[in-house]
């Protein structure tokens, strides 16, 4: 009763209320006074004493009760204050755990400096301390991980360097022993094995957060990119390269694309029966170029597909060597990583063949025209015509029998330079870069057609010269008339050139 | 980072020779293809041909020896042999052994003639 009165009030009501406890004592005192007045005189003394004592006791009790009431009120106030403080603290802690720490860790992961992260915190002192401790721990952990990744990348780089060296030497050896098929075959196998090692090293480098490997300063035709990808998988013979749109991939994107496609091709060949083919095509799409890899293997269940796509997504968010687990399946992780870094879109679907169809969409900005591409891309073209040594009028002096061995550019331009019709063997741009030669055939057939009747006129019977062995596999198409002109051109020295030219 | 990728590696193409030949080393190529066999294309290149095939067909519009093709394409002879084998099988080219050089009389005969002349 006292509390209720006193708690809301303050000032005078409170002071009035604070004397309520005197009321019973006053009542008793009044009652005592009345009793004393009413009883006989002999009893007045004891009654007065009893009344007075009880009034005093009551007063004492009342004051005690009032005091306790005040204490209780005081305590309630502190308790509610504590409650609110506690609730606030709780909210703050929740904020710390739910927002501050994750934010801080997130920002650290994104590469912000720990000082910046700590400096921008608005939190109570203790929470800042907590965050600081956590940030320190995270930084230490990240440093550790980073150094581990650096070590991985470092090792991968060394392997790559060796592999590159090896590949170059192998290419030199292949050139040197190119005329001995037994040795050459072995070299090709070693070369293939080396390329596989190189891919593994590239994968480790990519997962370590680095670029896949070598860099290309010039654009490379897509066709070469696709075959480059094929050359890095085990079962490259099972890959069938279909139509490829005639574009080139800009230099910086070449290696990542080759690597991503190689991993997808590897998956496709690995998870399809060995006798099936894997189909590789590249077509134009609105947003760029879509490279499709389709295998005839076991179809992916919806669940497996989801898992694979999840893995791709995970990798895009950032996966590292530590996340790969005991039996690392590098492939999709690498693809996801590369896709994220270079903006490829990768999707896996069920194929109409029953297997898996992987589509990589290369964005438009990574695509350029073939003309910009390196002419060396096919390993041919750059040197096909010794440019300086092409006398435009040099008539065919086709006595190449005297050529004992390949001796590159300094030889006189005997055959190939001679397209007397003015058709360069390999189309070239103004600055000397060779262009794709596929365009040429469109210009050619009329000539060939013209050549055939011209040659056929006088050549019903083959020339006396021994029929070429090459004829044997191809008898049904009457090679005679055409070859004969050529042969007579060969045997008749004086007019060979003119005849050869007249055919054109 | 890129130290491994420098140098003249860039001069090469990303594709290795075994992809170009499909893993064949030329061991089973037609026997008539040796360095001096002359190759002539039957027609121009068709779209959709493997670029190397197209390049050979282009080169061989006039007769060219295997060795020369190899030199111009900068491919080892075995690779060229494999590619030529494909083209032969497709009837796109014709191969012909070169004219053997005129046979010289043997040395003994020449010496005999010289002796006879000197005795005159």
Give the tens place of pLDDT for each residue, A149-202: 888 888 989 999 999 899 889 988 888 888 888 888 888 999 999 999 999 898
Query: What would the mean pLDDT of B64-71 be, rounded to a whole number?
Result: 88
Mutate which: A184, A280, A407, A504, vs B, most B CBs within 10 A: A184
Chains A & B: contacts with CB separation below 8 Å: 304
Spell A168-178 as b/e; 16+ CB within 10 A means b: eebbebbbebb
**Residues of chain A above pLDDT 90, percent:** 11
Question: Exposed (0-12), middle (13-18) or buried (19+): which is A327, by Cβ within 10 Å?
Answer: exposed
């895009």: which residue's tokens?
A316
Express each pLDDT in A247-299 by its tens digit: 888 888 888 999 999 999 998 888 888 888 899 999 888 888 999 998 887 77
Pick from B25, B44, B49: CB nearest A185? B25
Mean pLDDT of chain B: 79
Q: Which CATH architecture has domain A215-375?
A: 2-Layer Sandwich (3.30)
Give the pLDDT band of residue A71 (cuts 50, 70, 90). very high
- Of residues A445 and A79, more confidence is placed in A79
pLDDT of residue A405 exceeding 80: no
Give me the pLDDT at residue A192, please.
92
Query: What would the mean pLDDT of A32-51 be, rounded to a whole number?
Result: 83
Query: What would the mean pLDDT of A394-401 be, rounded to a whole number?
Result: 37
Question: Exposed (0-12), middle (13-18) or buried (19+): which is A258, by Cβ within 10 Å?
Answer: buried
- Of residues A286 and B25, more confidence is placed in A286
The angle, 0 to 180 degrees and rounded to 10, between the axes of the packed helices B51-59 and B77-89 is 90
pLDDT of residue A75 exceeding 90: yes
H or E element, residue A239:
strand A239-244
Give me the pLDDT at residue A316, please.
66
B68/A408 touch (CB, cutoff 8 Å), yes or no:
no
Query: What would the mean pLDDT of A134-156 be, rounded to a whole number?
Result: 85
A407/B71 touch (CB, cutoff 8 Å), yes or no:
yes
Mean pLDDT of chain A: 72
The angle, 0 to 180 degrees and rounded to 10, between the axes of the packed helices A41-95 and A22-38 is 170
Give me the pLDDT at residue A463, please.
41
The span from the CA of B74 to the CA of A232, in Å, is: 22
Contacts of A465 in chain B (CB under 8 A): 99
Give the pLDDT band of residue A459 (cuts 50, 70, 90). very low
Nearest-by-CA chain B residue for A439? B47
Query: What would the mean pLDDT of B80-97 be, rounded to a whole number?
Result: 86
Question: Exposed (0-12), middle (13-18) or buried (19+): which is A399, by Cβ within 10 Å?
Answer: middle
Query: What would the mean pLDDT of A208-234 be, rounded to a whole number?
Result: 85
Give me the pLDDT at residue A53, please.
87
Nearest to B88 by CA among B28, B42, B19, B26: B42
Question: Would you give the distance in Å from CA A169 to the centre of its chain?
Answer: 31
CA distance A141 to chain B (A): 23
CA distance A115 to chain B (A): 28
B25/A406 touch (CB, cutoff 8 Å), yes or no:
no
The span from the CA of A472 to the CA of A461, in Å, is: 16
Domain segments of chain A: what residues?
2-105, 215-375, 414-441, 444-504
CA distance B105 to chain A (A): 20
Query: What would the mean pLDDT of A307-323 be, rounded to a whole number?
Result: 68
Contacts of A168 in chain B (CB under 8 A): 8-9, 12
The span from the CA of A296 to the CA of A356, in Å, is: 7
A438/B17 touch (CB, cutoff 8 Å), yes or no:
no
CA distance B46 to chain A (A): 5
Q: How far is CA A147 from CA A75, A141, A153, A208, A325, in A?
A: 58, 10, 10, 10, 19
pLDDT of residue A12 exceeding 60: no
CA distance A356 to chain B (A): 23
Residue A284's SS3 state is strand
Contacts of B84 in chain A (CB under 8 A): none
Contacts of A433 in chain B (CB under 8 A): none
pLDDT of residue A350 exceeding 70: yes
Task: Read off the DSSP letter of residue A471.
Answer: G
Query: What would the mean pLDDT of A419-432 be, rounded to a whole number?
Result: 44
Mutate which: B6, B8, B18, vs A, most A CBs within 10 A: B18
Region of poorest pLDDT, from A188-197, A233-242, A334-343, A436-445: A436-445
CA distance A488 to chain B (A): 11
A188/B23 touch (CB, cutoff 8 Å), yes or no:
yes
**N- to C-terminal Cα distance for chain B?**
83
B74/A400 touch (CB, cutoff 8 Å), yes or no:
no
- Of residues A41 and B98, more confidence is placed in A41
CA distance A263 to chain B (A): 15
Residue A198's SS3 state is helix
Spell B34-61 as b/e; 16+ CB within 10 A means b: bbbbbbbbbbbbbeebbbbbbbbbbbbb
B12/A178 touch (CB, cutoff 8 Å), yes or no:
no
B91/A477 touch (CB, cutoff 8 Å), yes or no:
yes
A181/B2 touch (CB, cutoff 8 Å), yes or no:
no
Give the pLDDT band of residue A11 (cuts 50, 70, 90). very low
pLDDT of residue B24 exceeding 70: yes
Pick from A223, A406, A477: CB nearest B70? A406
A215/B5 touch (CB, cutoff 8 Å), yes or no:
yes
Q: What is the 3-state secondary structure (H, E, C) of A286-304?
A: CCEEEEEEEECCCCCCHHH
Give me the pLDDT at residue A248, please.
87
Give me the pLDDT at residue A72, please.
94
A444/B43 touch (CB, cutoff 8 Å), yes or no:
yes
Nearest-by-CA chain B residue for A470? B95
pLDDT of residue A231 exceeding 60: yes
Handedness of CA A394, A396, A401, A407 (dihedral sign): positive
Give me the pLDDT at residue B102, please.
67
Nearest-by-CA chain B residue for A161? B4
CA distance A349 to chain B (A): 27
The span from the CA of B103 to the CA of B109, in Å, is: 13
Nearest-by-CA chain A residue for B46? A441
pLDDT of residue A243 exceeding 50: yes
Nearest-by-CA chain A residue for B30? A470
- The CATH number given to B11-101 is 1.10.10
Residue A350: how many other CB atoms lie within 10 Å: 14
Contacts of A404 in chain B (CB under 8 A): 35-36, 67
- Of residues A68 and B1, more confidence is placed in A68
User: Would you list the DSSP string of B9-36?
Assistant: GGGS-SS-HHHHHTT--STTS-TT--TT
């019709």: which residue's tokens?
A421
- Of residues A425 and A24, more confidence is placed in A24
Give me the pLDDT at residue A317, please.
65
Write down the pTM of the prediction: 0.60
A400/B12 touch (CB, cutoff 8 Å), yes or no:
no
Give the pLDDT band of residue B38 (cuts 50, 70, 90). confident
Pick from B46, B59, B81: CB nearest A441? B46
Residue A271's SS3 state is coil
Give me the pLDDT at residue A389, please.
34
The span from the CA of B19 to the CA of B16, in Å, is: 6
Residue A392's SS3 state is coil
């Amino acid at each position: 009763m006292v509390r209720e009165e006193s708690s809301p009030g303050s000032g005078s009501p409170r002071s009035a209320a604070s004397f309520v406890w005197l009321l019973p004592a006053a009542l008793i005192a009044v009652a005592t006074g009345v009793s004393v007045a009413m009883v006989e005189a002999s009893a007045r003394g004891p009654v007065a004493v009893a009344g007075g004592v009880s009034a005093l006791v009551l007063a004492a009790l009342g004051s005690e009760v009032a005091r306790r009431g005040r204490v209780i009120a005081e305590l309630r106030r502190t308790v509610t204050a504590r409650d609110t403080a506690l609730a606030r603290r709780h909210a703050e802690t929740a904020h710390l755990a739910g927002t501050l720490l994750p934010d801080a860790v997130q920002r650290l992961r994104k590469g912000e400096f720990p000082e910046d992260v700590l400096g921008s915190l608005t939190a109570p002192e203790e929470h800042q301390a907590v965050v600081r401790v956590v940030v320190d721990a995270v930084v230490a952990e990240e440093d550790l991980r980073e150094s581990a990744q650096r070590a991985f990348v470092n090792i991968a780089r060394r392997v790559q360097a060796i592999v590159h060296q090896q590949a170059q030497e192998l290419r030199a050896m292949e050139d040197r022993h190119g005329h001995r098929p037994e040795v050459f075959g072995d070299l090709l196998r070693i070369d293939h094995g080396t390329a596989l090692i190189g891919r593994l090293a590239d994968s480790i480098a990519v997962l370590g957060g680095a670029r896949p490997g070598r860099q290309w300063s010039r654009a490379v035709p897509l066709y070469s990119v696709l075959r480059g990808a094929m050359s890095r998988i085990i079962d490259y013979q099972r890959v069938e390269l279909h139509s490829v749109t005639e574009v080139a991939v800009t230099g910086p994107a070449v290696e990542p694309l080759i690597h991503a496609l190689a991993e997808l091709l590897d998956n496709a060949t690995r998870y399809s029966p060995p006798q099936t083919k894997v189909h590789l095509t590249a077509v134009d799409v609105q947003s760029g170029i879509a490279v499709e890899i389709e295998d005839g293997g076991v179809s992916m269940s919806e669940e497996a597909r989801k898992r694979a796509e999840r893995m791709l997504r995970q990798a895009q968010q950032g996966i590292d060597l530590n996340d790969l687990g005991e039996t690392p399946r590098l492939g999709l992780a690498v693809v996801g990583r590369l896709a994220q870094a270079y903006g490829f879109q990768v999707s896996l679907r069920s194929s109409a063949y029953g297997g898996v169809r992987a589509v990589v969409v290369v964005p438009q900005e990574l695509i350029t025209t073939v003309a910009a591409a390196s002419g060396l891309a096919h390993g041919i073209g750059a040197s096909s015509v010794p440019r300086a040594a092409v006398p435009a009028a040099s008539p065919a002096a086709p006595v190449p029998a005297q050529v004992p061995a390949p001796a590159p550019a300094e030889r006189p331009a005997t055959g190939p330079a001679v397209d007397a019709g003015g058709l360069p063997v390999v189309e070239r741009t103004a600055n000397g870069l060779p262009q794709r030669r596929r365009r040429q055939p469109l210009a050619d057939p009329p000539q060939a057609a013209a050549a055939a009747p011209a040659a056929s006129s006088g050549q019903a019977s083959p020339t006396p010269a021994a029929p070429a062995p090459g004829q044997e596999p191809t008898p049904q198409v009457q090679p005679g008339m055409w070859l004969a002109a050529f042969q007579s051109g060969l045997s008749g020295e004086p007019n060979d050139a003119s005849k050869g030219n007249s055919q054109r | 980072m890129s130290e491994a990728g420098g140098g003249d590696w860039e001069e090469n193409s990303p594709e290795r020779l075994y992809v170009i030949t499909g893993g064949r080393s030329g061991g089973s190529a037609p026997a008539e293809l040796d360095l001096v066999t002359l190759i002539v294309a039957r027609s121009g290149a068709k779209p959709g041909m493997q670029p190397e095939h197209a390049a050979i067909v282009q080169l061989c519009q006039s007769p060219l020896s295997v060795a020369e093709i190899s030199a111009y394409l900068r491919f080892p002879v075995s690779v060229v042999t494999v590619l030529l084998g494909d083209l032969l099988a497709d009837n796109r080219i014709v191969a012909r052994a070169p004219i053997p050089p005129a046979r010289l009389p043997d040395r003994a005969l020449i010496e005999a003639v010289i002796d006879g002349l000197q005795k005159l």
